[in-house]
Chains A and B, each alone.
Chain A
Amino acid sequence: MSSINLLAAVQSLNAKNMQSLMLKTTKYQTNTGGNLVPIADLVNKVVGSQTIKDGIDIRKAKLAGAKYKAKHFGRVGMVPMGLNDINIDIQREIEQKHIGNNILPIFDPRITQPINVIYYPETGRYTCWDGLQTLSTILILISHGLIEVENENWETFEVKANIIDADLIVPGASCTVAEAVANFGFRTLNGPTGRKKVDPYYVMRSEYHGAKLYSSDLQEDLHSRDMWEALLRHNMHPADENNKLKPGHIAHISGMKTKAGHDKESFNIDTFEASIDFLSAHFIKDNGINSSFYMAIAELFKILDEQKIKIGSKSTQFSTDRFAIFLKDRYGKVDTSHSFRKIAAKRLEHTRTKLGYKTHTWTDDCSLPYMLDDYEKYCDACGFTLGKLPVLDNMKEFV
């Protein structure tokens, strides 16, 4: 009979998993051998698609046979701070809290965006239509003596800018010149049709890479690294919108961060990992983990930990095996069309209607009370020992 060395087998598996983890984290390491890919390689993959062709057709019609020239793109240059005016009918107000809470704590001069300005040759001045918060932050830093300025004259301090001459006319444009461009530009860059909001998945991936690949010591990066690796240890994955229906994927990034206490002193990776371990062990084959279901499970494991209730596959206090069997029996699969959310929403609507509510806005708060109430009934009906359930502050509100 052949003899198996269990230690060697497990170590070999661990090595394979580590290799797989490395591959996953450097998903864009292609045959070129690195994570730096020529722009043409990326564009070539999409340039012929129907979606792109549709957009091009609209643009062609607007251009009516004309073509853009390099001069139409404006120019970049350095603009003295003191020559900037703000069109207050276009720009927002100064976002004091945003600057104080978010920009200043992590300020890095290399990561400032060029401001967008219109240049008026007759006055020699500029109107800034995008970049007010950047300009304000720089001036605040100068005011507090944190930027070295020649002759202590802030007005001469130059900032990088994307400059459009006020009389620049381009083919196929919906707006004419000067402040009309500024007005349209502000809306285009900052409105819903401009820059696509970055999916939280990419933010978390950036934080994870910050700690994993670039030795960042930012708390948000360290926490994201711990969470990401905990997921991978259990063959689970954070997901963006496009991948949320894949087995073992969780797209509710903000929910995961909230429940784990991401970037807070209360960060608890053990409880987070316990919930992921549970989802992996019992629901990894479903097409993604539904957000409401995830929130309920994460909340459950958090409360079990807080109330020091022992969990385990066969724990006499809270048996995870039994709970998983109940979840599958009662709610079925936990993918995005998961019946748990539907069942809970229906129950919420029914209960609220009886109480005289006219609207039934969904709240994740009802998930765990309903789930534990269902579990209690299930154990009772099946004659199973219930064990120890956590006490919920909001149980009476819903059950």
Chain B
Amino acid sequence: MNEDIRYFYMWVHPYTQKTCYGVTDTLSRRKRNYQGHNGFDITWNFIARGSSDDIEKLEGTLKKKVALVEQDLGRKISYGKYEWIEAEVEYSTIEALIDNFLEEDNYDSVTIIKSGNVENNVEYDDDEEDEEVDNSQ
């Protein structure tokens, strides 16, 4: 694993419809953690890969913009101080906003791996699901 590579991901909670986002260097481990906590399978809706600087900047920009929108609206649209955006925010518009960030700022190292219904033919570590333990007898 290249330690400078990071992933920015988003997934929509199938029951609450809230959008979760975050940054990780290992998608498979992060997915297992979510699944372990929730007790159901999750699917990434959006994945972008790039340098740690760019990916952290991308996450920070989203967080900052969400906070500014909250300030403007005078109410919360995120859950607590966590990286969760409330269900009333339409997921496709979050993805559109991320696209907008990538287009309008300098994110040279960032590649979108999965977005909307399109999955680019780029390998990422989420494919490495070989660490699961089979306890069946």
Contacts and interface: CB of A to CB of B under 8 A. Distances in A.
B90 A310 contact: no
Interface in A315-336: 315
B97 interface: yes
Interface string A281-305: 0000000000000000000000000
B42 interface: no
A383 B56 CA distance: 25
A233 B53 CA distance: 20
B97 A2 contact: no
A5 B90 contact: yes
A13 B69 contact: yes
B118 to A, nearest CB: 18
Nearest to A6: B93
A4 B88 contact: yes
A176 to B, nearest CB: 66
14 contacts: A3-B88, A3-B89, A4-B77, A4-B90, A5-B93, A6-B66, A6-B77, A6-B89, A7-B96, A7-B97, A10-B68, A10-B69, A10-B100, A313-B60
A169 to B, nearest CB: 66
A6 B100 CA distance: 11
Interface string B64-98: 01101100110001000000010111100110110
A7 B69 contact: no
Interface of A: 1-11, 13, 16, 310, 312-313, 315
A7 B88 CA distance: 13
Contacts of A313: 60
B52 interface: yes
Contact of B52 (A6, A9, A310): A310
A4 to B, nearest CB: 5
Contacts of B90: 3-6
A8 to B, nearest CB: 7
B117 to A, nearest CB: 18
Q: Which range holds the interface residue count of chain B? A: 20 to 34
B23 to A, nearest CB: 9
Contact of B93 (A7, A13, A312, A315): A7
B88 A2 contact: yes
A2 B97 CA distance: 19
Contacts of A9: 69, 72-73
Contacts of B72: 9, 13, 16
Contacts of B69: 4, 6, 9-10, 13
Contacts of B93: 4-8
Nearest to B104: A14
Interface string B49-68: 00011001000100001101
Contacts of A8: 93
Given A7-B97, A10-B65, A315 B56 contact: yes
A202 B29 CA distance: 55
Contacts of A1: 87-88
A312 B89 contact: no
Contacts of B94: 6-7
Nearest to B94: A6
Given A13-B72, A310-B52, A7 B100 contact: yes
A9, A16, A312, A313 — which one has the most chain B CB atoms within 10 A of its CB?
Answer: A9
A18 to B, nearest CB: 13
Contacts of B88: 1-4
B68 A4 contact: no
A316 B60 CA distance: 15
A89 B67 CA distance: 65
Q: Closest 3 A-B residue pairs measured CB to CB?
A: A7-B96, A7-B97, A5-B93
Nearest to B69: A9
B1 to A, nearest CB: 16
Nearest to A317: B52
A12 to B, nearest CB: 8
Contacts of B56: 310, 312, 315
B90 to A, nearest CB: 5
